Amino acid sequence: MAATTQFRTCPTTGLKIDLAAQSLIKANAVAAVVFLAIGGLFGLSIALTRWPEIHLLPVDWFYMALTAHGLDVLLCWIIFFEVAVLYFASAVLLNCRLAAPRTAWVAFVLMVVGAALTNVTVLQGESSVMFTSYTPLRAAPNFYLGLIIFAVGALVACGNFFGTLVIAKEERTYEGSVPLVTFGALTAAIIAVFTLASGAVILIPTWLWSLGYINHIDPVMYKLVWWAMGHSSQQINVSAHVAVWYAVAAILLGAKPLSEKASRLAFLLYIFFLQLASAHHLLVEPGISSEWKIFNTSYAMYLAVLGSMIHALTVPGTIEAAQRKLGFNKGMFEWLRKAPWGNPAFSGVFLSLVMFGFLGGISGVVLGTEQINLIMHNTLYVPGHFHATVVTGTTLTFMAVTYLILPLILQRDVMFPRMAQWQPYVFGLGAAGISLFMMGAGTLGVPRRHWDVTFADSPFGFEFPSAAFMMLALNGLSAILAATGGLMYVVNVVASVFFGKKTADKPMKVAVPVSTSGQPAAVGAYGSAGSLNIPGTITLVTIFFVSFVLYYYVNWKYLAEVWPLR
C-alpha cells in the first residue's frame, strides 16, 4: 500500500499530507457539519417550545425533536468531527500515510448508515425515548441497532488512528515523541475505546430486549453502564478540544507548551480518572450507597478535574508566553488585547476556553457534588451545564478550528471571511446565553425534558415563579442567536468546501511559521520563553479559582436551606 500513497506538501507547515487522509478528513468534517445543521434546527425548535409564549411544537413532536437533537449533535456532529481530528492528529501531524484508508471509508459508511438508521427510526415517532434511552422506556429495535452500527464505525476509525501511530513510529516519520496535540488525540482515542466498549455492553442487550429476546433490564444497572459510555464520551470531547486549543495556539502564534510534562500529565489524568465519573449521574438514585457515590465522583472526578485545571493554566499560559515572545510585552494584558481577535480560529478558541472553564467547568463540579445534586438533578440546570461544556466548549472549538482546516487541509479559501470573523462571537454569545438561562431556570426548579411547565393540561398544576418564565424566554432569545451563529458557520463551510476558491499554493500568514524541522531548543527552557513570565494568565486563573470556590460554597448554603432529609 505504501507505494501507492500519494502526498502533497503543505506550503504553510511543510507537512506531507496523505491525500487519502485529506479526503477522509473532508468527508467526516462535512458529515459532521450536516448533522450539526439538522441537530441545531431541532435545538432551536425545542428552545422555542420551552418558551411558553411561543410553545412552538406539539407534545409528540417536542419529545421526538428532543431525542433527535441529543443524538444528532452530541453523537453525530461531535464524533464525526472527532474522527476528522484523529486523522489530522495522526496522519497529518506525523507526516505519515493513514494506516488503512479503505477501512477508514468503511468506518465512515458504517457511521453514516448507523446515524441515518437511528434518525429515521426516531422520526418515525415510536422512539421518543431521549438519547439516553433509559429503560424501561422502549424504542424500536432499529434505534439501538443504528447506534450500535455507528459505534462500530467509530471504533474502526479509532483503530485506524492507532494503526497510523504505529506506522509512523515504524517508518520514522517523526523524531522523538509524538507532538502534544497528537498525544491529546491519543488520549481521546483511548477513552473512546473504553466508551464504545461500554456502549456495546449496554446497547446490545437493550437491542435484544427491544426485540423481545431478553425480558428485563434493571433500570439502575442500565444507567450505570450507559453513563460509562455517556459520560466518558464527554471526556473524549474534552481531550479532543483541549488538543485543538493547543493546536490552534501553535499554528497561529507559534505557541509552545509551557511544560510538555505538565500538559501530558493532565491528559493522562483524563484516562486514569474519568471512567467512574458515570457515578455523578446516579447521585440521587435509589440503591446506591453514599460511600460509593462519594468515592467514585471524587476520587475519579476530582483528579480528572485536576487535569482540566492544569490545562486552565497551561493553555492561556502558552498563548501569553507566545504573544510576549512576539513583542506584546506591555503591562499585564497587552498580549491579550493585541491577540488576533479578528481571526475566527483564535477568537473561537479563546472564547471557548473562557466559557468552558467558567460556565461549564465550575457548574459541572458543583452539580456533581453528592449532596448538592439534590437541588439540581434533572432540572434545566443540567442541560444548562452541559451546553456550556459541549456547546461553548467543544462545538465552538471545533467551529474555530474549521477555519484553519478549510485552507490548510481542504485547500479552500473561506468563502465569506467577514461572516467568519463574526461567527464565533454570535454563536458564542448565544450559546453562553442558553447555558446561563437554562441554569438559571434550573435553579428555580424548572424540570428538563418537559413540554409544558405551565401545566395547562393537568388537573392540579403548579406555578413556577415568574422569574423562571423570564429565564425560559431569555433562553429562547439566546437560542435564536445561537442558531444564527450556527447557520453562519454551516453556510460558510458548505459554501467554501463545495464552491470555494482553491487555496493559492502559498503559505498562509501566521505569526510564526510552523516548521517540522525541529529547531533544537535550549535544554531546560520553559516552553515558549527562556523564563516563564505569565502574569496575565496568573491573574485570570486567580479570578477563576476565586469564582469557583465562592460558587461552590454558595450552593452548599442553598442546600442547607431546603427541608432536612436523611
Partner 1 sequence: MAVTPPANRLWWNEPIHIVELGWIVIAFIWGLVMFFTMVYWHSIGEQNLANETYKVVPQSFAAKAEAMTEKYTVRDEVGIPVVRPPPGSDVYLIARIWSWWPILELEKDQSYRLHLSAMEYSHGFSLQPVNINIQIQPGYEHVLTITPNQSGKFGIVCNEFCGFGHHTMVSPLYVVDRS
556 scored as a contact of partner 1 (CB under 8 A): yes
Cell (9 digits) for 6? 500519494
Please report how many Cα atoms fall inside a 13 Å half-sphere around the Cα of residue 245, on the Cβ side: 30
325 scored as a contact of ligand HEM (CB under 6 A): no
What residues between 164 and 203 interact with ligand HEM by CB under 6 A? none
d(CA 61, CA 69): 12
For ligand HEM, which is the closer residue by CB, 37 or 168? Answer: 37
d(CA 193, CA 186): 11
453 scored as a contact of ligand HEM (CB under 6 A): no
43 scored as a contact of ligand HEM (CB under 6 A): yes
383 scored as a contact of ligand HEM (CB under 6 A): yes
Q: Given the rule CB under 8 A, which of 59-67, 146-154, 194-202, 356-364 is the region that contacts partner 1? A: 59-67
Q: Given the rule CB under 8 A, which of 139-147, 384-392, 425-433, 443-451 is the region that contacts partner 1? A: 443-451
* Amino acid identity, position 35: F
What residues between 304 and 343 interact with partner 1 by CB under 8 A? 305-306, 309-310, 313-314, 317-318
563 scored as a contact of partner 1 (CB under 8 A): yes
- Count CB atoms within 10 A of the CB of residue 545: 14
Sole binder of ligand HEM in the list 233, 352, 395, 411 (CB under 6 A): 395
68 scored as a contact of ligand HEM (CB under 6 A): no
Sole binder of ligand HEM in the list 10, 20, 34, 47 (CB under 6 A): 47
8 Å CB contact between 370 and 410: no
55 scored as a contact of ligand HEM (CB under 6 A): no
For partner 1, which is the closer residue by CB, 370 or 422? Answer: 370
Sole binder of partner 1 in the list 56, 116, 130, 326 (CB under 8 A): 130
Helix (H, G, I), strand (E, B) or coil at 546: helix
Residue 193: exposure state from Cβ atoms within 10 A (0-12, 13-18, ≥19): middle
Separation of CA 313 from chain center: 19
Angle between helices 417-443 and 396-408 (to 10 degrees): 160
Sole binder of ligand HEM in the list 449, 494, 512, 529 (CB under 6 A): 449
What residues between 392 and 431 interact with partner 1 by CB under 8 A? none
d(CA 507, CA 525): 29
Mark residues 227-266: x for contact with partner 1 by CB under 8 A, - for none: -------------------xx-xxx--xxxxxxxxxx---
Shortest approach of ligand HEM to residue 41 CB, angstroms?
Answer: 8
- Closest among 164, 202, 183, 179 to 268, alpha carbons compared: 183
Helix (H, G, I), strand (E, B) or coil at 526: strand
Q: Indicate the helix (H) or strand (E) that contains 16.
A: strand 16-18
Q: Given the rule CB under 6 A, which of 68-76, 180-188, 401-409, 510-518 is the region that contacts ligand HEM? A: 68-76
- Count CB atoms within 10 A of the CB of residue 211: 12
- Count CB atoms within 10 A of the CB of residue 172: 9
The long-range contacts involving 216-219, CB below 8 angstroms and separated by at least 24 positions, are 217/135, 217/136, 218/135, 219/134, 219/135, 219/136
Shortest approach of partner 1 to residue 16 CB, angstroms?
Answer: 13
2 scored as a contact of partner 1 (CB under 8 A): no
**Residues in contact with ligand HEM by the rule CB under 6 A:** 40, 43-44, 46-47, 50, 66, 69-70, 73-74, 77-78, 130-131, 383, 387, 390-391, 395, 434, 448-449, 479, 482-483, 486
